[in-house]
Amino acid sequence: MSSRHDTAMIFTCKVCETRSIKTICRQSYEKGVVVAHCSGCNNLHLIADRLGLFGEPGSVEEFLAGRGEEVKKGSIETLNLTLDDLAGKKVLKD
């Protein structure tokens, strides 16, 4: 991971169900705008918009919490990922 990309995230694209791991800059996440590109369908996912350029300011954590969805967080030293986290729950059910 580069020193600039100091934060990682795992997510599933709601359009094509591709599971992705992306690294992002924490400073941009906390103070700017972060958009992630899906390698499966080329969709763009808004991860953080602290400036309100795309609507209400916030982050993926706040956007998902507003829909009642959970976000798991942890540091590199304490992060414990399950098979569900890595593969996605839908993959394991199929």
Task: Round to the nearest angstrom and report the end-to-end CA distance of the chain.
Answer: 32
pLDDT in tens, 6-45: 888 888 898 999 988 888 999 999 999 999 999 999 999 9
Q: pTM value? A: 0.75
The predicted pLDDT at position 91 comes to 52
Q: What is the pLDDT of residue 70?
A: 80
Residues 6+ apart with CB under 8 A from 47: 9, 22, 24, 29, 34, 35, 36, 59, 60
The string of pLDDT tens digits covering residues 35-73 is 999 999 999 999 999 999 999 999 999 988 899 988 877
Place of tokens 């808004």: 46
| Closest CA relative to residue 36, chosen from 26, 27, 48 | 48
